[in-house]
Amino acid sequence: MNADYVIVGAGSAGCAMAYRLAQAGKRVLVIEHGGTDAGPFIQMPAALSYPMNMSMYDWGYKTLPEPHLDNRRLVCPRGKVIGGSSSINGMVYVRGHAGDYDHWEDSGAAGWGYADVLPYFKRQEHWHDSGQGGDPDWRGKDGPLHVSRGPRTNPLHAAFVEAGRQAGYPVTSDYNGQQQEGFGPMDMTVYKGQRWSAANAYLKPALKRENCELIRAFARKVVIEGGRAVGVEVERGGKIEVIRANAEVILAASSLNSPKLLMLSGIGPAAHLAEHGIEVIADRPGVGQNLQDHLEVYVQYACKKPITLYKYWNLIGKGLIGAQWLFTKTGLGASNQFESAGFIRSRAGIKYPDIQYHFLPIAVRYDGQASAEGHGFQAHTGPMRAESRGEVTLASSDPRAAPNIFFNYMSEEQDWIDFRQCLRLTREIFEQDAMKPFVKHEIQPGNALQTDDELDSFIREHAESAYHPCGTCRLGAVDDPKSVVDPECRVIGVDNLRVADSSIFPRITNGNLNGPSIMTGEKASDHILGRGMLAPANDEPWFNPNWETSQR
Active site amino acids: 468
Assess contact for 62 and 405: CB atoms under 8 A. Answer: yes
Supply the DSSP string of 219-255, one letter for each residue.
EEEEEEETTEEEEEEEEETTEEEEEEEEEEEEE-S-T
Q: Could you tell me if 521 and 21 are in contact, meaning their C-beta atoms sit under 8 angstroms apart?
A: no
Q: How many CB atoms lie within 10 A of CB 286?
A: 21
Q: How far apart are CA 546 and CA 353, in angstroms?
A: 13
DSSP 134: -
CA pair distance 405, 76, nearest whole angstrom: 9
Peptide bond into 445 cis (omega under 30): yes
Q: List the alpha helices (DSSP H) in 24-67.
A: 40-43
Question: Cα–Cα distance between 511 and 357 in angstroms, integer?
Answer: 9
- Dist. CA 422–CA 418, nearest whole Å: 6
Measured distance CA(145)–CA(5) in Å, rounded: 23
3 state DSSP class of 470: strand
Which residue, among 188, 198, 194, has the nearest Cα to 20 in the 3D structure? 198
Residues 321-342, buried b or exposed e (16+ Cβ, 10 A)? bbebbeeebebbbbbbbbbbbb
Around Cβ 141, how many Cβ atoms within 10 Å? 11
- Residue 150: strand, helix, or coil: coil
Question: Pairing state of beta strands 28-32 and 212-216?
Answer: parallel
